[in-house]
Amino acid sequence: MLNKLSQDPLEGKGEEMIPQRGLPFDDIDETPLEEIPPEERIPDFSEAEITPRATESTPEEIPADDNHPFDDGDEPSFQLSAEESEALMGDTEGIFTMEATPWELTETEAEAFMGSADEAFNPEPEATPEEDRSLHGPPGEIALVEHFAEPKETEPDMGMSTHLEDDPAEIEKLFADELAQPSSPIPAQPAPGIVHAAGGVQHEAQSAEDAMIELLVTDEDMLAMWRRADQAQKDVKRLISTLYIARQQLNHIQAARNELMAGKAYYEDAERHINEVEFRVQLSIQLDKLAKTTIPRLYVYLASWFIITVALLFIFGENIFSAEGSSLYFLAGSMLWGGMGGLVGALMPLIKHFSVEQDFAPRHNWWYIASPFVGSVMGAIIYLFMMLGSLSITSGEVSSPVIIYILSGLAGYQHKIFTNLVKRMLKVLEFDGQEEVEEEVEPKTSSG
């Protein structure tokens, strides 16, 4: 670092100043800064003087061995009376109170003038020993510089930041230390972190993004999130009885705690995990309520369907299953078996979502209620197709209705697949008017 700086302190084209995602302003190129009428302009010394990468004079020519005694002019304790300062500065006054403006000086005059001022005063009043060393100080003069440079109480960030900036290893260590100390079971208490930010003792090495996070996520937020994790854990134990789901949730909680311990930067990730668990817990609470109302009703409803269907099959079995029966009986049979399929097709997901996944959502009630009906309709459609001979298994004559019933039952059970199939066939046959074909989707689990 030291070598690099003394060789070429200003390598590059200012990339160090550009954040990763670019400059936060979009008008840098377009809007010129000012429109000062030419007659009001001071001869534009900046443009004339600033040429790219001037190399003729090196930083080393500026001596770093003289600290100006007055460069703390804005320190609260510094209260010189006019006389005192007169006495202190009297003979140097002439040097730094310039009577002529430099842009009126000729180049050589300015050179001569600035040269003497530079020699008389430390050119970098704010430079810390490190800075001085790296920018100007030949290694041999370090001791001298350090002797003069006292630690500055009023600008604590100076020494720290330049020091840290100079040594990437140091920075890494700092972060490693911070990460390695998850403070306490309740990490939302890290008052030191706050002191850090608020006291202005802020390392520039710490990115501004981190600094902002410090500001936007309070300790209270962290503490609250930690409590939410605790609460979520209790709820999972109390309410979730399926092992693998409980395990999933506990994993989320653990992940959230890890994020919280890693620091405020991970607050949002922790929150995402906790949200997931809380949602799942909420679902279980809801399910507890539903277990006393909606779900028994659904079971009763489906059971009634089942009993009625079985009764009807029992009563009309002879007509329905005989190969010589009338087509009306075949239609009824298809519908009964389709309904049975739909019933089973509703019962299975109901058991799955209620007892296994524990994520039954009441908004799917109507799907369960409609399923046997849809199944019946599917059965009827299957029958009609068979009759139309579209599925020319028996070429018109029904040898055994059992095949139709099996198909109807399957159609009822998986009505989604069959509606799609039917749709496709309708398309092939260009039967556009068939509106009774319902698109039904098995309820999806509501959580991930």
Partner 1 sequence: MERIIIVANQKGGVGKTSTVVNLAAGLVQLGHRVAVIDLDSQGALTISLGFDPYTVRPSTYNLLLDENIAFADVLKDTGKNIALAPANAELIAAEYKLYSQSERTERLRNILQLPREPFDFILIDTAPNLGLVTVNGLAAAHELLIPVAANYLSMRGVRSLLDSVWLIREKLNPQLKLLGVLPTLVHPKAAHAKSAIYEMKTVFKQKVFHAFIPYDDVAATAPAMRKSVLEYAPNSAVATAYLYLAKEVSYAK
Least Å from the CB of residue 188 to partner 1 = 12
Least Å from the CB of residue 121 to ligand ATP = 9
Q: How many Å apart are CA 360 and CA 362, to the nearest integer?
A: 7
Least Å from the CB of residue 176 to partner 1 = 20
Question: In this structure, what token pair is assigned to residue 295?
Answer: 């779900």
Name the residue with tokens 């790296």.
134
Least Å from the CB of residue 212 to partner 1 = 5
Within 122-161, which residues bind ligand ATP (CB under 6 A)?
125-126, 155
Helix (H), strand (E) at residue 170: helix 168-180
Q: What is the dihedral of CA 254, 255, 256, 261, to 10 degrees?
A: 90
Comparing CB distances to partner 1, the nearer of 156 and 325 is 156
- With CB under 5 to 8 Å by kind, the binding choice for 414 among ligand ATP, partner 1, none is none
Least Å from the CB of residue 103 to ligand ATP = 16
Question: In this structure, what token pair is assigned to residue 269?
Answer: 């990730």
- With CB under 5 to 8 Å by kind, the binding choice for 76 among ligand ATP, partner 1, none is partner 1
Cβ atoms 347, 305 nearer than 8 A? no
Least Å from the CB of residue 71 to ligand ATP = 5
CA angle 332, 333, 339 (to 5 degrees): 90
- Interaction pattern, residues 93-112, with ligand ATP; x per rule: CB under 6 A: --------------------
- With CB under 5 to 8 Å by kind, the binding choice for 311 among ligand ATP, partner 1, none is none
List, in sequence order, every beta strand (DSSP E) within 75-223: none
Q: How many Å apart are CA 313 and CA 302, to the nearest integer?
A: 16
Q: How many Å apart are CA 411 and CA 409, to the nearest integer?
A: 5
- With CB under 5 to 8 Å by kind, the binding choice for 98 among partner 1, ligand ATP, none is partner 1
**Considering CB under 6 A, how many residues would be counted as binding ligand ATP?**
7
With contacts defined by CB under 6 A, name the span among 22-30, 50-58, 69-77, 211-219 that binds ligand ATP: 69-77
Name the residue with tokens 């970098």.
124
Residue facing ligand ATP at closest CB distance: 73
Q: How many Å apart are CA 204 and CA 121, to the nearest integer?
A: 28
* Angle formed by the axes of helices 401-413 and 327-351, nearest 10°: 30
- With CB under 5 to 8 Å by kind, the binding choice for 194 among ligand ATP, partner 1, none is partner 1
Least Å from the CB of residue 196 to partner 1 = 10
Question: In this structure, what token pair is assigned to residue 301?
Answer: 């409803």
Comparing CB distances to partner 1, the nearer of 195 and 307 is 195
Cβ atoms 146, 154 nearer than 8 A? no
Least Å from the CB of residue 257 to partner 1 = 23
In this structure, how many other beta carbons lie within 10 angstroms of the beta carbon of residue 187?
21
Least Å from the CB of residue 226 to partner 1 = 17
Q: Which distant-in-sequence residues (6+ apart) come within 8 Å of 139 by Cβ?
A: 2, 133
Can you tell me which of 9, 19, 43, 73 binds ligand ATP, judged by CB under 6 A? 73
Q: Which distant-in-sequence residues (6+ apart) come within 8 Å of 88 by Cβ?
A: 69, 70, 80
Residue 221 makes contact with ligand ATP by CB under 6 A: no
Cβ atoms 316, 332 nearer than 8 A? yes
With contacts defined by CB under 6 A, name the span among 65-73, 100-108, 163-171, 321-329 that binds ligand ATP: 65-73
Cβ atoms 272, 260 nearer than 8 A? no
Tell me if residue 271 falls in helix, strand or coil: helix
Comparing CB distances to partner 1, the nearer of 225 and 320 is 225
Residue 199 makes contact with ligand ATP by CB under 6 A: no
Can you tell me which of 71, 141, 167, 204 binds ligand ATP, judged by CB under 6 A? 71
Can you tell me which of 44, 74, 99, 432 binds ligand ATP, judged by CB under 6 A? 74
With contacts defined by CB under 6 A, name the span among 68-76, 84-92, 223-231, 239-247 that binds ligand ATP: 68-76
Comparing CB distances to ligand ATP, the nearer of 60 and 126 is 126
Least Å from the CB of residue 273 to partner 1 = 23
Least Å from the CB of residue 159 to ligand ATP = 13
Residue 69 makes contact with ligand ATP by CB under 6 A: no
- With CB under 5 to 8 Å by kind, the binding choice for 31 among ligand ATP, partner 1, none is partner 1
CA angle 155, 161, 163 (to 5 degrees): 115
Q: How many Å apart are CA 97 and CA 100, to the nearest integer?
A: 9
First to last CA, the chain: 51
- Interface contacts to ligand ATP, rule CB under 6 A: 71-74, 125-126, 155
